[in-house]
Amino acid sequence: MKLACIEAIAPGLTLKEKCENLERIGFEGIEIWAGSGGPELEQEIKAVATGSRVKPCSVMVVNEAFQQPLDSEEAMQAKAAATRETLRLAAAIGAVGMLVPEYGPQLPPPILPLFPLGEDKRGLLLRLVEEAGRYAEESGAILVLEPLNRYETSLFHTLDEAVAICKEVGIPNVKIMADLFQMIIEERDIAESLKRAGEYIRHIHLSDSGRMLPGYGNIDFKATFAALKEIGYDGYMALECAVSGNAEDELRKCVEYLRGCMP
């Protein structure tokens, strides 16, 4: 298992500075969120990665389609276009490409048990994942689906639900990612959910409860890492959380804490 960090919280002003600082702190990967996946960004990432032990591990193109509800053919096509851009860049830099089909506050908040997804919306979701998955196959990329909690999306919320989508679509290049912040809200048992998802997991987001740095909340990271070891996960785990105080000091303490939790 390799530790990574999202670009947004990595100390430094440029991608080169961020990778240099992350390498010094003890990270092995960086996750990139981009407004576009054009050739200039691809060239910059490749140039930086060539001279660093910190490698690009995951990427997502985040634009207006990201927050648009998945409620129409037009919305589905906009999300598919952004995902193709993500996957093109992912294939070029050797990273996994992430897909969040819908993100935004749910109003009213769904406190009561969730209703099944309507057939129209489910159909759009499956078409989006299938179209993106076919492009992933063609480009040689891996597409990972991220389940979000019920307050951020109406689509799918648990690892089991994400795996079910992968199985229904039936494309080997479509996998899932596990975000511990999402999981502590939606999963009964984080470790058991990870074990059930098994080989479908191709990326991890690390944070503690409340999006705090690991070690400041109530997630059992020793049990989490033991479950990942049991399923043979050896990929990247990227910090996606808030950092208060001096970023370098806090990230260094976090790396020490996480490595101390690994079996």
**Hey, CA dihedral for 68, 74, 80, 86, is it positive or negative?**
negative
256: three-class secondary structure by DSSP: helix
Contact predicate 179/146, CB 8 Å:
yes
What are the CA-CA distances from residue 238 to residues 1, 50, 178, 205 (Å)? 11, 20, 10, 5
Q: Which helix (H) or strand (E) holds 218?
A: none
Calculate the CA dihedral of residues 156, 202, 205, 114 and round it to 10 degrees. Answer: 10
For 168, list phi and psi in degrees, rounded to 5: -70, -40
Question: In the annotation, is 146 catalytic?
Answer: yes
Question: Distance between CA atoms of 4 and 29, rounded to whole angstroms?
Answer: 4
Q: For residue 35, with 0-12 CB atoms within 10 Å meaning exposed, 13-18 middle and 19 or more buried, which class applies? A: exposed
Instruction: Determine the distance from the C-alpha atom of residue 242 to the mean position of all C-alpha atoms in its chain, rounded to a whole number.
Output: 16
Locate 198 and state its tokens. 């098994």
Question: Distance between CA atoms of 62 and 82, rounded to whole angstroms?
Answer: 8
Q: State the catalytic residue, choosing from 20, 42, 102, 146.
A: 146
Question: In the annotation, is 73 catalytic?
Answer: no
**Hey, CA dihedral for 139, 141, 147, 148, is it positive or negative?**
negative
Q: State the catalytic residue, choosing from 42, 85, 102, 240.
A: 240
Which residues are known to be catalytic?
Answer: 146, 240
